[in-house]
């Protein structure tokens, strides 16, 4: 597809998601209390969008991933939260 | 349009979903064993579930003329309890001869623990001893990249397993290359929030090639869409992909993998 065709197909969708992210960050700013590690992780992942090559999706995912390599001793629970907290490693 | 749903948890869907899938062109549905949303109290709960997957559910699908196949295992979310997991694994061989069983799945990791890994290795051994296909679930969100690496290492460590007989499901942009490079099949799961959207799935198909890739909805009791595969096919056409290319990805590819078990047939 040409860049023009991609814009025609996906610009409005991406624009809407971009404004959603902006509104989410505004909402967090207006909120009270201390945020947990996910906000920092989110801001760090946002910086990956400035990359000049088409590896942004992968880079955002890697930025939010557990970088350790060894299996852990015990499951802290069943769920995942979408970002990795450095202090929770063994 | 015609397509295969290679990963749907139909026990948690309503009968109307079967009808909608058939109307959309679904020609076969495959259902891996998974977590029920709560922990079962013992191996008997899994025995009943395996009966449901091999007896009741195919009958429900047959009412709409839809062939139903299944995969058996204890899912990684309940594998942390290794004693329970061993008891469940011991139940599986008696079900492997049932006519709709395709292999062992969806096995894998959830929180990447030592116990989960130990039970994953037991499942790999079970599949090797019974010459079964393998369907692998990779962990969620922040745990996916690390878990996918651990899973690939565990499978590669067993020389009896041919990578072409294993599908690693729920790949995303940061895991698909390592899966395909190692010779495995890759499954892309279409979810409204986590995993991938139709647009990202097609991106991956375009960037990494579609020879050993399938699409699935992994519809279950959570937010998910049993029609995600045909909707993605429509999206492919909007991008200008030819009908033959779409058919290859959503129909011919899953058949090529699944028909390695001769029980899998589609009309
Ligand atoms: Zn599943």
Do A61 and A79 lie in a common domain?
yes
Q: What is the pTM of this model?
A: 0.97
Rounded Cα–Cα distance for residues B115 and B76 (Å): 9
If pLDDT is split at 50, 70 and 90, which confidence band does B267 have? confident
The answer to the question of residue A79 being in a domain is: yes
Rounded Cα–Cα distance for residues B176 and B169 (Å): 9
User: In chain B, which residue's Cα lies nearest the Cα of A13?
Assistant: B199
pLDDT tens per residue, range B172-215: 999 999 999 999 999 999 998 788 999 999 999 999 999 999 99
CA B65 to chain centre: 21
What is the predicted pLDDT for the residue at B195? 85
Do A39 and A71 lie in a common domain?
yes
Q: Which of A9, A62, A83 is nearest residue B238 as measured by Cβ atoms?
A: A9
Closest CA to A72 of A88, A61, A84: A88
Task: Residue A81: count other Cβ atoms within 10 Å of its Cβ.
Answer: 16
The answer to the question of residue A90 being in a domain is: no
Task: Residue A64: count other Cβ atoms within 10 Å of its Cβ.
Answer: 22
CA distances from B229 to A14, B162, B182, B189 (A): 22, 27, 25, 9
Work out the mean pLDDT of chain B and round it to a whole number: 97
Q: Is B211 exposed, middle or buried (0-12, 13-18, 19+ CB in 10 A)?
A: exposed
Q: Report domain extents, chain B.
A: 3-258
The answer to the question of residue A39 being in a domain is: yes
Prediction ipTM score: 0.96
What is the predicted pLDDT for the residue at B194? 82
Do A18 and A44 lie in a common domain?
no
Rounded Cα–Cα distance for residues B137 and B177 (Å): 16
User: Is residue B106 predicted with pLDDT exceeding 90?
Assistant: yes
Strand runs labelled E in A1-90:
none
The answer to the question of residue A23 being in a domain is: yes
Strand order across the B101-108 sheet: B3-5, B26-32, B68-72, B101-108, B133-137, B166-169, B185-189, B213-216
What is the predicted pLDDT for the residue at A87? 66
Rounded Cα–Cα distance for residues B44 and B52 (Å): 12
Rounded Cα–Cα distance for residues B184 and B213 (Å): 9
What CATH code is assigned to B3-258? 3.20.20.140
Do residue B142 and residue A65 have CB atoms under 8 angstroms apart?
A: yes
Angle between helices A56-63 and B144-156 (to 10 degrees): 90
Count of structural domains within chain A = 2
What is the predicted pLDDT for the residue at A90? 44
Do A16 and A58 lie in a common domain?
no
Give the angle subtended at the CA of B119 by the CAs of B115 and B121, to the nearest 5°. Answer: 115
Contacts of B240 in chain A (CB under 8 A): 1, 5
Give the rounded percent of residues in chain B with a pLDDT score beyond 70. Answer: 100
User: Is residue B244 predicted with pLDDT exceeding 60?
Assistant: yes
pLDDT tens per residue, range B162-173: 999 999 999 999
If pLDDT is split at 50, 70 and 90, which confidence band does B131 have? very high
Q: Which of A61, A67, A71 is nearest residue B114 as measured by Cβ atoms?
A: A71
Which residues of chain A have a Cβ shorter than 8 Å from any chain B Cβ? 1, 5, 9-10, 13, 57-58, 61-62, 64-69, 71-84
Closest CA to B104 of B135, B129, B81, B125: B135
Q: Which domain holds residue A14?
A: 1-33
Give the rounded percent of residues in chain B with a pLDDT score beyond 90. Answer: 98
User: Is residue B146 predicted with pLDDT exceeding 60?
Assistant: yes
User: Is residue A88 predicted with pLDDT exceeding 70?
Assistant: no
Do A2 and A17 lie in a common domain?
yes
pLDDT tens per residue, range A61-78: 999 999 999 999 999 999
Task: Tell me B113's DSSP state.
Answer: B
């Amino acid at each position: 597809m040409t860049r023009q065709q991609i814009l025609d197909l996906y610009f409005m969708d991406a624009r809407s998601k971009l404004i959603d992210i902006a509104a989410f960050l505004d909402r967090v700013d207006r909120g009270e209390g201390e945020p947990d590690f996910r906000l920092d992780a989110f801001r760090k992942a946002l910086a990956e969008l400035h990359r000049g090559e088409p590896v942004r999706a992968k880079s955002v995912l890697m930025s939010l991933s557990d970088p350790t390599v060894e299996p852990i001793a015990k499951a802290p629970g069943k769920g995942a939260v979408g970002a990795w907290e450095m202090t929770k490693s063994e | 349009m015609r397509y295969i749903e290679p990963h749907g948890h139909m026990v948690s869907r309503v009968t109307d979903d079967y009808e909608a899938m058939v109307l959309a062109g679904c020609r076969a549905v495959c259902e891996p064993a998974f977590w029920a949303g709560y922990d079962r109290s013992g191996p008997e709960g899994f025995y009943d579930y395996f009966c449901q997957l091999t007896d009741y559910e195919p009958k429900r699908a047959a009412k709409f003329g839809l062939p139903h196949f299944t995969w058996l295992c204890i899912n990684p979310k309940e594998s942390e309890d290794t004693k329970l997991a061993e008891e469940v694994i011991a139940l599986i061989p008696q079900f492997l001869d049932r006519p709709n069983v395709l292999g062992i799945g969806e096995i894998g990791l959830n929180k990447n623990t030592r116990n989960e890994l130990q039970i994953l290795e037991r499942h790999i051994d079970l599949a090797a001893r019974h010459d079964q296909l393998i369907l692998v679930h990779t962990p969620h969100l922040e745990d996916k990249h690390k878990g996918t690496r651990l899973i690939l290492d565990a499978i590669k460590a067993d020389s009896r397993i041919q990578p072409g007989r294993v599908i690693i499901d729920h790949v995303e942009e940061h895991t698909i290359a390592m899966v395909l490079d190692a010779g495995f099949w890759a499954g892309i799961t279409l979810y409204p929030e986590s995993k991938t959207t139709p647009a990202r799935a097609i991106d991956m198909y375009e960037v990494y090639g579609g020879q050993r890739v399938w699409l699935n909805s992994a519809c279950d009791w959570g937010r998910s869409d049993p029609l995600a595969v045909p909707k993605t096919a429509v999206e492919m056409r909007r991008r200008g992909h030819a009908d033959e290319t779409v058919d290859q990805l959503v129909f011919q590819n899953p058949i090529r993998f699944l028909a390695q078990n001769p029980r899998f047939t589609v009309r």
